[in-house]
Amino acid sequence: MRTARWLTVRVAAHAATLTVLSAVIFWATEVLPGDAVGVLSGQDATEAERASVREALGLDRPPLQRYGAWVVDALHGDLGTSLISGRDVGEIVGDRLGTSLAVLVPAALLALLLAGALGTAAGLRPGGWLDRVLSGVTLGLVGTPDFLVATALLAAFTVGWPVLPAVALVPAGQTLWQHPDLVVLPALALALGAFGATMRLLRAEVGQVVASPYAELARLNGVRGAAYLRLVVTNAAAPAVHAFALMTAGLLGGAIVVETLFNVPGLGQELTTAVAYRDVPLVQALGLTLGAATLAVLLVGDLVTRALTPPSRSTREHP
Amino acid sequence: MVPTTMRKAVAASAAGVAAAVMITGCSSTSTSEASVPQDSGTSTLRAAFAGGSTETLNYLQGPTALDYVRARLVHAPLCELDPGSDDGVAYGVVESIDVSDDLSTYTLHVRDGVTFTDGAALTSADVLYSLQAPVLLEGLPFTKIVARGFDLEAATTPDDATVVLPTLAPIADGRELVCQSMLAIQDGTTEFTPTTPSSGPFTIASFEPGSSTVLERNDDYYGAAPALESIELVSIADGTARVNALRQGQVDYVSGLAPAQARTLDDVDGISVTTSELPYASYLQFTMSTASAPLDDVRVREAIRLAVDREQIVENVYFGRAFVGNDLPALGFPSYDEGIPQREHDPERARELLAEAGAEGMSLELTVGPELAGMVETATLVVEDLRAVGIDAALRELPAGQLFADYQAYLAMPFRAGYNPPAPFEANHTPGTLPEVDALVQAARSGASADERLAASHAAQQLLWQQGNQLGVVFVPNVSAAREGVSGIRELQFPDLAQATVTD
């Protein structure tokens, strides 16, 4: 019951956040120098031609009126059409979200697996050889820019040992979901770049739990093997789950480098282009989608944390 | 398959796109012509372009090179620029264009026997509608070039095979306006979908914006039958990714490569790099604002033009894949004045001129953005050269897309990068800087005899060379690469794939 009320409050807060976000994004596109008229007209158009482009795009109306019209349409489920291509914005965002998720979901699962397994293994024996090796490797990966990881993978699997396609070319009429071979490299690149932070947090927490009197008592009482592992990990996981949720949310819109190199045009790449073209309706829709997805991921993270945390502590952590 | 309905909305990135779209010459290009298309059977060409989700079938609003490459395969051109031929154009579904003696009426004769994919014959009404479409369908400014020279509302179609176009003012280069970018579409076409009737060598089997287009041969095409059975146009936004896809054999052909990317392919076995030849190269120029001191002084402008080492830019930025500019547009077009000497790199004279003008140590900010291959790198070298002659020069680099986005701000910049796609000089001249040049260009377009017009054009170019406000350092061609076995692609401003052949 308490969880239901907590959830309702959180969802309402998220809705409010998104409303404010839509205004902020609109305002941000307004203060950016230039508009789609300049982008579309190029440098050789006459003033009269510019004016007719402005009118055709509806950019001759005052900003408040445009924002108001957008809000009304958005509430009716119409996100408008792209100023540049005339395509339905909802359709573009749907396409890009699908592509992003096709890479993100396997990447996040892989990162979870790596972080969970390696973080626990290292934390069980802090200071041991495994811990030292893993610490070195993850620190290295955390400090390596995405494009280096991606380029190294490209060199290894498309040139050195050419077993995977370099670029994700999806045959006409199909989606990325139907082609796991196209997803392997980008997902691996994202997972390798991202799992380090979560893994290190988990390792630290596991180390702490292992050293606590509670774990010692359990060991003295003969708790061993899988049962002991479960006891340690469930007590240590909460902060790492938070970190993992944050990382996943970040990857959704922030995987631009990987999206570009492997030609998996997702939300991040689309947003970059939309901003360059001053395509306001598309920027709005992409921004809000990313915002909503981030809030949703964080919410799921919080729910998992709640489930992992013993009730006595939850009152303290979630007043 | 996503049959996308094209709605209003206007499209096209910067100027690049602009005239970009306009030129598709016919002969005198760097083509590895496949004389006899062998085994016209089951062959498919997979070609990659930058594309992106802004792709649209509406070529009047299309912002990417891919949009025009595709449109040119689907819709037959009325006629094309062909700098080598007598009329300066090669005819398509319009089989000839007559000009009245007073240069005020153009008569277009429509080819007989051309049909659309729905079986309807192509008539003068379709041709006239094709010319009016950029205005009626809110095409981007660069598509409206015909409307700048002709009174399209007063145009008539006396019979099914004839279109009569009155000019707004007498012009001699009306053929070039009509033939710069116009493709034949059916009378009354308002939206462009994969099933919209068309008359080109290929038809659209499927279209997914930002991903791929599958084209199939149109067996009812009136012109030379394509050897390819189908073409798959794929969108790969990043140049490096395009190169990787070619190297791995995922595609047969890639276009729009940056100089450094092309260079990495030079030593790769089984891959050849091709460059479009003149006149199909974009004019990369830096405009100096004459509105304020010290750039209003012609000596300062000449000093800046002399200070820049153009050869070095061609070598170091473009690895030789570019043409040295002489501060004049339209290099390679028939009316380009070859008689004007190439401006040399002369830093000594530049210093003297600056001293004469009292502008030593002047500060100057050059604004640039990544809008054309090598643009930022070229600007970087220009700034270095200017510093070397004592100008306190600085570079301001804008993020992609911003340079032309804020046009008022762009015009207010004292020294700004820009580029013009390959197009004849006279019809594309922007008046307003030097009134004398504007008058000469007018004479070059409306003079009674061809000699008179050429003389006026050369006089205009001479003046621009001496006093103009552009530092035109380099002409940048389109760079493409293909695997062995691909031939017949015409490297115009944008590649024409209609007559390509593929062998294994």
Closest chain A residue by Cα to residue B244: A166
Tell me the shortest Cα–Cα distance from A248 to chain B, in angstroms.
24
A-chain residues near B248 (CB < 8 A): 158, 162, 165-167
d(CA A167, nearest CA chain B) in Å = 6
Amino acid at B211: S
- Residue B148 φ/ψ region, left for φ over 0, alpha for ψ in the -120 to 50 degree band, beta for the rest: alpha
B240, two tokens: 């490096």
Q: Is it the case that residue B36 has pLDDT exceeding 70?
A: no
* Closest approach of B146 to chain A, Cα-based (Å): 13
Any CB–CB contact under 8 A between B6 and chain A? Answer: yes
* Average pLDDT for chain B: 87
Separation in Å, CA B121 to CA A225, B54, B111, B362: 82, 32, 10, 65
Task: Give the CATH number of the domain where residue A161 resides.
Answer: 1.10.3720.10
Measured distance CA(B138)–CA(B152) in Å, rounded: 15
DSSP secondary structure letters along B179-196: HTT-B---TT-----TTS
Position B37 confidence tier, pLDDT thresholds 50, 70, 90: very low
pLDDT band at B24 (very low <50, low <70, confident <90, very high): very low
User: How far apart (Å, rounded) are the C-alpha atoms in residues B96 and B89?
Assistant: 10
Cis peptide before B294 (omega within 30 of 0): yes
Query: Closest Cα of chain A to B315: distance in Å?
Result: 28
B442: CB partners within 8 A, 6+ apart: none
DSSP H or E segment with residue B480 = strand B479-483
Which residue does chain B place closest to A31, by CA atoms? Answer: B406
How would you label B199-217 residue by residue, b for 16+ Cβ within 10 Å and e otherwise? Answer: bbbbbbbbbbbbbbbbbbb
What band does B338 get if pLDDT is binned at 50, 70 and 90? very high
| Interchain CB contact of B208 with A (< 8 Å) | yes
DSSP summary character for residue B77? B
Q: What is the pLDDT along chain A (319 residues), one digit of tens a residue?
A: 678 888 899 899 999 999 999 999 999 888 888 888 888 887 777 788 888 888 888 888 888 899 998 889 888 888 888 888 888 899 999 988 998 999 999 999 999 999 999 999 998 888 888 889 988 888 888 888 888 998 899 888 888 888 888 888 888 888 888 888 999 999 999 999 888 888 988 999 999 998 899 888 998 998 888 889 888 888 888 888 888 888 888 888 778 888 888 988 889 888 988 888 889 999 999 999 999 998 998 899 888 888 877 665 444 444 4
Chain B's closest residue to A172, CA to CA, is: B212
- Asked if pLDDT for residue B397 goes beyond 60, the answer is yes
Q: Which residues in chain A touch residue B10, judged by CB atoms under 8 angstroms apart?
A: 36, 40, 53, 56-57, 83, 86
| Residue A71: count of CB within 10 angstroms of its CB | 15
Cβ separation of A86 and B404 shorter than 8 Å? Answer: no
Provide the residue type at B89 as one letter.
Answer: V
Q: What is the dihedral of CA A21, A26, A27, A30, to 10 degrees?
A: 160
Domain membership of residue A222 (yes or no) is yes
Distance CA B490, CA B471 (A): 30
**What is the share, in percent, of chain B residues with pLDDT greater than 70?**
91
Contact A34 B407 (CB under 8 A): yes
Smallest Cβ–Cβ distance between B244 and the set A38, A82, A166 belongs to: A166
Query: Is this prediction's ipTM beyond 0.85?
Result: no
Answer whether residue A199 is part of any domain: yes
Spatial separation of the C-alpha atoms in residues B246 and B482, rounded to whole Å? 7
- Is residue B367 within 8 A of residue B415, CB to CB? The reply is yes
Cβ–Cβ of A169/B52 closer than 8 Å?
Answer: no
Residue pLDDT, tens place only, B178-213: 998 889 999 999 999 999 999 999 999 999 988 899
pTM of the model: 0.85
**B270-290 b/e (C-beta count within 10 Å ≥ 16 → b):** ebebbbbbbbbbbbbbbbbeb
User: pLDDT-based confidence at B63, cuts 50/70/90?
Assistant: low
CA distance B343 to A181: 55
**Which residue from A40, A158, A260 is facing B11, i.e. has the nearest CB?**
A40
pLDDT for position B9: 31
Q: Which pLDDT score is estimated for A171? A: 83
The whole domain housing A233 covers 103-280
The predicted structure's pLDDT at residue B267: 87
Q: Which sign does the torsion angle of CA B412, B416, B421, B422 carry? A: positive
Give dist(CA B151, CA B199) in Å, integer. 26
Chain B contact set for A277 (CB, 8 A) = 13, 54, 63, 401
Q: Mean pLDDT across the stretch B334-353?
A: 94
- In whole angstroms, what is the distance from residue A15 CA to residue A250 CA? 19
Q: E-assigned strands of B32-117?
A: 44-49, 79-81, 89-91, 94-99, 105-110
How many Cα neighbours within 13 Å face the side chain of A139?
A: 6
Q: Tell me the torsion sign for CA atoms A49, A51, A55, A58.
A: positive
A63: in domain: no
Q: Is residue A5 part of a domain?
A: no
CA-based nearest distance A19→chain B, Å: 27
Does the residue A88 lie in any domain? no
Does the beta carbon of B156 lie under 8 angstroms from any beta carbon of chain A? no
Any chain A CB within 8 A of the CB of B12?
A: yes
Kindly determine whether residue A81 and residue B247, on different chains, have CB atoms separated by under 8 Å: no
Q: Can you tell me the mean pLDDT for B310-324?
A: 95
Ranked by mean pLDDT, which of A248-257, B46-55, B315-324 comes out on top? B315-324
Give the Å distances, CA to CA, from A288 to A99, A291, B54, B452: 17, 5, 20, 62
| Chain A residues with CB-CB distance to B404 below 8 A | 34, 38-39, 41-43
A215, part of any domain:
yes
| Contact assignment for B236 to A85 by CB distance below 8 Å | no
CB contact under 8 A, B232 and A277: no
SS3 state at B394: strand
Q: For residue A164, which amino acid is it? A: L
Residue A206 within a domain: yes
Partner A, chain B 425-464, Cβ-Cβ below 8 Å? 428, 430
B14: pLDDT strictly greater than 70: no
Q: What is the pLDDT of residues B219-278, one digit of tens each?
A: 999 999 999 999 999 999 888 999 999 998 999 999 999 999 999 998 899 999 999 998
Model pLDDT, residue A310: 67
Whether omega before B279 lies within 30 degrees of 0, making that bond cis, reads: yes
Cα gap B385→B389, rounded to integer Å: 7
Please state, in angstroms and as integers, the Cα–Cα distance from residue A118 to each residue in A124, A134, A201, following that order: 10, 7, 11
**Out of A86, A95, A261, whose CB is closest to B9?**
A86
Nearest to B250 among A34, A86, A167 (CB): A167
pLDDT at A1: 63
Residue A24 covered by a domain: no
Residue B9 near residue A85 (C-beta atoms within 8 A):
yes
Find which of A25-34, B35-44, B433-442 is predicted with most confidence, using mean pLDDT: B433-442
- The band of B8, judged by pLDDT with boundaries at 50, 70 and 90, is very low
> What is d(CA B289, CA B415) in angstroms, rounded to the nearest whole number?
6
Determine, for residues B236 and A35 on separate chains, whether the beta-carbon distance falls below 8 Å.
no
Q: For residue B286, list its beta bridge partners.
A: B417, B471
Q: Please give the structure tokens belonging to residue A55.
A: 């009118």
Number of domains in chain A: 1
Backbone angles phi and psi of B133, in degrees to 5: -55, -40
Identity of the residue in B241, B248, B418 whose CB atom sits nearest the CB atom of A162:
B248
